[in-house]
Structure 1
Amino acid sequence: MLTIHHLGISQSDRIIWLCEELGIDYVLQKYDRDPATGAAPAVYKALTPFGTAPVIAHDALVLGESGAIIEYIIHRLGGGRLALPPSDAAYPDYLFWLHFANSSLMSALMVEMIIPAIEPANPDIAEALRGRGNRAFALVEQRLSEAPYFAGDEFTAADIIMAFPLTTMRLFVPREIAAYPKLKAYLAKIAGRPAFKRALAVGDPGLKPVID
């Protein structure tokens, strides 16, 4: 049996959504953030050596890291669905966005969280750091002007992993997206997927999708 250790309003939303899209049965173990600090509780941090969300348990295996979990579930439990094979012409695009989500976009947004602390003394550094996020969102807009989904014509796991930094992460790092009309249309389309709605209702009931 697959258990998803779900930290509220976190990247583990992706894993619930993935399982809903694939129709994979799972047990959801929910954890609340510390009300004072917003951090994960100690019991959650103890699940894996690095101590961050998401985390799954499958039989005797305990696994962290969004990308690793997505790949594991798709190939061990999902029959390869929502991934593209190397023979597919869109495979390079699939790989790029699957890894861009956390390697570049999420890291840029995490850095933006500390910009207010360094900006008064280091405005040039702050501006350079902010520029990484701006370039990332510009690249997203460009891609969505070329194709309906990140890997091309079909919805894949690349869309699932990209959604969190483009939506829920903006609760932590506010960003206006009026200047990105293709992104706004894409997020509205994603939020309309039945599996997305089910995942939100299960993982974070009452949370309004951040799509505007």
Structure 2
Amino acid sequence: MIIVHHLADSRSQRVLWLLEELGLDYEVKRYERDPRTRLAPPELKAVHPLGKSPVLQDGDVTVAETGAVVDYLLETYGQGRLRPAAGTEAGRRFTYWLHYAEGSAMPPLLLKLVFTMLPRRSPALLRPLVKGVAAKALASFVDPQTRTHVDYWESELGRSAWFAGDDFSAADIMMSFPVEAGADRAYDIEDKPRLRAFLERIHARPAYQRALERGGAYTYA
């Protein structure tokens, strides 16, 4: 039995969605974030030394990192589904977006979250200073970087219906979290009609809806 160690409001929601798209049986072990730090609970370290989610267990196989989990599931159970043929333009775009989602898209969004939260989590005496530093970091680096990436996503969805081409693929599943998180904290979805349409299409997919039922409350949906 496949087991997904699933953290609330995290990247692991994509793994549940992929499993539903592939029609695979699996078990969800859900973990809640610390209400103060928003970090994963220590119980996850018993599953993987970094204590992060997602972690997938399939018999004797344990796989961490969302992209690696997606690769494993497609190679083991995909039978050619949700992945364009290797050596094609769509195949190359698929590989790019699969890695871009975590390697390039998420860092500025994470920085946005950190610098936004930092002032209110600082000691009261230091809060004005921390607020000023955070505001400068956001204005001078984080926000411009985030806008560059968001504009890029909007432009790329003008090339084709989906990120890797004309057909829905696991690259769209990987990109769902940056697009969802970005809409929550980094851009106005009304200003990005292609990204808005992308979110409407993925949220309407039956497999996406089933994954929400299995995973529980998910802020970004």
TM-score normalised by the chain length of structure 1: 0.90
Gaps of 5+ in 2: 119-129
Aligned amino acid, residue 20 of structure 1 = E
Correspondence for 1:175: 187
Structure 1, 10-19 or 174-183: larger mean CA deviation: 174-183
Distance (whole Å) between structure 2 residues aligned to residue 53 and residue 167 of structure 1: 18
Q: In structure 1, what is the equivalent of residue 87 of structure 2? A: 87
Whether the 8 Å CA contact 2:115–2:134 is kept in 1: the answer is: no
Question: How far 1:149 moved relative to its partner?
Answer: 0.3
Partner in structure 2 of residue 114 of structure 1: 114
Matched, 1:204 2:208: no
Residue 88 of structure 1 deviates from its aligned partner by: 2.3
For residues 97 and 119 of structure 1, the distance between their equivalents in structure 2, rounded to whole angstroms, comes to 34
Q: TM-score, normalised by structure 2?
A: 0.86
Partner in structure 2 of residue 73 of structure 1:
73
Structure 1 residue 77, shift from structure 2 partner: 1.9
Q: Which residue identity is paired with 1:62?
A: T
In structure 1, give the amino acid aligned to 2:147.
Answer: N
What amino acid does structure 1 have at the position aligned with 2:47?
L
| The 10-residue stretch of structure 1 (1-10 or 109-118) with the greater mean CA deviation from structure 2 | 109-118
CA RMSD, 1 decimal: 1.9
Residue 48 of structure 2 corresponds to: 48
Distance 1:136 1:4 in 2: 30
Number of equivalenced pairs: 208
For 1:139 and 1:19, the matched residues in 2 are separated by: 28
Alpha-carbon deviation of 1:37? 2.5
Q: Which has the larger radius of gyration?
A: 2
Percent identical pairs in the alignment equals 34
Match of 1:134 among 135, 143, 147: 147
Q: Which has the higher helix share?
A: 2
What is the CA deviation profile of residues 86-118 of structure 1, one whole-angstrom value per residue up to 9, with x for unaligned ones? Answer: 232311211111111111111110111233446
Which residue number corresponds to residue 126 of structure 2?
none
Structure 1, unpaired ranges of 5+ = none
Deviation string, structure 1 residues 142-167 (Cα, Å, up to 9, x no partner) = 01111100001000010001001211
